[in-house]
Chain A
Amino acid sequence: MVAAAASAVAPDASRERSRRRARRRYVRSALLFLSPWIVGFLVFTAWPLIYSAYLSFTDYDVINDPEFVGTANYTRLFEDPKIALALGNTVIFTLLQVPLYVLVSLALALLLDRAGRSAGFFRTVFFLPKMTPPVAVGVLFLLLFNGQSGLINTVLGWFGIDGPAWTTDPAWVKPGLVLMSLWTVGASIIILLAALQSVPIELYESARIDGAGFWRQSLSVTLPMISPALFFIVVVNTIGGLQTFDEAYTAFFGSGNTTYSNDAALFYVIYLFQQAFEFLNMGYASAMAWVLFAVIMAITAVQLAVSRKLVYYEAEDPR
């Protein structure tokens, strides 16, 4: 009786065991594929996050050990006039840049979508500036926007407009940098164009049958269908705008710079970089980084909340 029961169970148990072994092997393969990211996340994301949070409560100059100072770095943030200046510059720049950037890339993508055969050529032309190193873009900014002899003011002169001193007048430095940044909309154009071209043609056809004209179609078909791409560009550009560094740093900062008044181009990350790597105030710079993190999180959260109302997503793929 007992023996019979045992022999009835045995094949089941061994099948169960081999199934469990197969499952373990499967999970092990999965982990193997994921391992680069897991290691990278622990070493280059998780640990830096924790350590940076710790550093933000210390005085640290790399040479001596970190010295705990409590919340001194954070209270100092409020008293440092350059923080308010840099934060203000950065926010103004981003507020000017993002809407213009999205409008220009959308306009160009719409044109390209209707361009027919020649679209490929124009797309290449629009993408080229993106391939120019930001350092060179910074150089170009100084040249083209030069108050006296720069091309921009020369062209404005043809129309009888006396162009401002873009590179030296504090009021015009940021608008100038914004205009220059519009030159590198290439990547956004490509993303929007891909979105435009994946809108099913049948949608336009049925809209036409329903009597929708060009504007009605644009509002009811095109915009909702490309809204995820638009939203993506807005979020990525906002985050990028708040972290602006390369072009402004090239044009206005660096060793031996005495030529320009650079307060107007002191963006938050430039000041952070100076604190960390020029003045070696690693603790203070870490506190600055956390404030930037909080600002970016808050803005992204607001954008996400707004997007729930405005962005249309097709029914999720069941997988």
Chain B
Amino acid sequence: MTQSLPDRTVPVALAPAAGAALSPAADEVRPRQNRPSRRRRVEQGFVLAALVVFAVIFAYPFVWLVSASFKPRGEVFDNKLIPDTFTVENYVRVWQEAPLALWLLNTLIVTVLAAVTVTISSAMVAWGFAYFRFRGRGVLFGLVLASMMLPGAVTMIPTFLIWNALGQIGTLTPMWAQNLFASAFYVFLIRQFMLGLPRELFDAARVDGASQWGLFWRIVLPLSKPAIAVTLVFEVQAVWTDLMRALIYLRDASTFTIPRGLKSLVDSFGFGGEWHWEIIITASVIATVPMILIFFLGQRQIIRGVGAGALKG
């Protein structure tokens, strides 16, 4: 059955040959000569040396930030990676000065709600465009593409007025609820991926009596895992770091998310008077670490999904 399918209907990420080139392990799968030539080894050495230099440049600010968070106030600017005096006092003080646990919790709530709702709704819409044939489909999808180009600044003010009319300013709702209605970018991304899935499979499932919803929920969604994972990770990243929306909608420190809270610390411990860098630095570290963990958990899927869906033509 599978063998009789024409090649192009096999989704990129599921077809062993093409999929291998896109998977995180691609480098290992690529054919290599058993005995690399001398020229090849010289080239490898050069590539590795260059990568190491860049990796140090990229990792350094981050490592430096973490190290500075363990330095006492006066030594923050000494540019040493190993603190002369190691202290956790900054972490204690940050915890006293700001409700960081609450901010982390707020961010977590908003992020989970936003990522889950946008993923499910965008996948539904993507499926609507990928599978169904009906008049006006092209026009509607054109609108999806066009709305991807729309700068956020244009809709920002009326959207604020909507939430204001609904009495939601100062609550966490505007931070995520719009995601219930899908997002053009993810619709595009997931649809691209779904177009690569074997249509024959879905027609067969329909003939076997699956409902449209059952087909979507039990067959399409599981098959679309790479695209779903990319959407989740991208949205988690976007929401976790979203400053502007938080500046617009959140008023009280008890509802702040991490970026908004961090900004308030920069204002009060920086612009407000003498810069207390140690507080700002330590809070930045606390705000960043959870994201790094999420990336480590999700990165295999991100790479695969980006390769499989986003940029084919």
CB atoms of A37 and B182 under 8 A apart: yes
CB atoms of A37 and B125 under 8 A apart: yes
CB atoms of A133 and B258 under 8 A apart: yes
List the A side residues contacting B68 at CB < 8 Å.
143
Q: A120-B27, A190-B306, A289-B156 are in contact. Are A27 and B295 (CB under 8 A)?
A: no
- Contact partner, B268, options A43, A118, A140, A256, Cβ 8 Å: A256
CA gap between A246 and B302 in the complex, in Å: 24
List the B side residues contacting A114 at CB < 8 Å.
43-44, 47
Mark contacts of A277-315 with chain B using CB atoms, 8 A cut-off: 1 yes-contact digit, 0 otherwise.
100001001101110110011001000000000000110
CB atoms of A139 and B266 under 8 A apart: yes
- Contact partner, B155, options A48, A140, A146, A285, Cβ 8 Å: A48
CB atoms of A123 and B62 under 8 A apart: no
List the B side residues contacting A14 at CB < 8 Å.
none
B224 within 8 A of A: no
CB atoms of A112 and B306 under 8 A apart: no
CB atoms of B22 and A126 under 8 A apart: no
A183 within 8 A of B: yes
- Contact partner, A296, options B149, B184, B240, B307, Cβ 8 Å: B149
- The number of chain B residues touching the other chain, given as a range, is 35 or more
B284 within 8 A of A: yes
Q: Which of A5-13, A28-36, A72-80, A168-176 contacts B (4 or more CB under 8 A)?
A: A28-36
CA gap between A232 and B311 in the complex, in Å: 8
List the A side residues contacting B28 at CB < 8 Å.
117
Question: Which residue on A lies nearest to B78, using beta carbons?
Answer: A149
- Contact partner, A191, options B124, B310, B312, B313, Cβ 8 Å: B310
CB atoms of A52 and B295 under 8 A apart: no
CB atoms of A55 and B158 under 8 A apart: yes
CA gap between A143 and B125 in the complex, in Å: 44
CB atoms of B125 and A33 under 8 A apart: yes
CB atoms of A194 and B149 under 8 A apart: no
Is chain A's binding surface mostly helix, strand, loop or mixed? helix
How many residue pairs link A and B with beta carbons under 8 A? The number is: 300
Q: Which of A81-89, A93-101, A195-203, A215-223 contacts B (4 or more CB under 8 A)?
A: A195-203
CB atoms of A128 and B151 under 8 A apart: no
CA gap between A116 and B54 in the complex, in Å: 16
Question: Which residue on B lies nearest to A288, using beta carbons?
Answer: B153
CB atoms of A243 and B151 under 8 A apart: yes
Mark contacts of A43-85 with chain B using CB atoms, 8 A cut-off: 1 yes-contact digit, 0 otherwise.
1110111011001000000100000000000000000000000
B50 within 8 A of A: yes
- Contact partner, B307, options A123, A198, A317, Cβ 8 Å: A198
A2 within 8 A of B: no
Q: A62-B164, A116-B27, A118-B51 are in contact. Are A124 and B299 (CB under 8 A)?
A: yes
Question: Which residue on A lies nearest to B76, using beta carbons?
Answer: A143
CA gap between A103 and B284 in the complex, in Å: 29
Q: List 18 A-B contacts (CB under 8 A).
A: A29-B132, A33-B216, A36-B122, A40-B181, A118-B51, A119-B27, A122-B51, A123-B299, A131-B292, A133-B262, A135-B241, A135-B263, A139-B280, A239-B151, A243-B151, A245-B244, A246-B244, A273-B247
- Chain A contacts to B: CB under 8 angstroms: 26-27, 29-34, 36-41, 43-45, 47-49, 51-52, 55, 62, 108, 111-112, 114-120, 122-136, 138-140, 143-144, 146, 149-151, 154, 183, 190-191, 193-195, 197-198, 201, 228-229, 232, 239, 242-243, 245-246, 249-250, 254-259, 269, 272-273, 276-277, 282, 285-286, 288-290, 292-293, 296-297, 300, 313-314, 316-317, 319
Q: A36-B121, A300-B149 are in contact. List 13 more A-B contacts (CB 8 A).
A: A34-B129, A36-B180, A37-B182, A37-B184, A41-B147, A45-B147, A49-B155, A118-B51, A136-B288, A197-B21, A245-B244, A250-B263, A250-B266
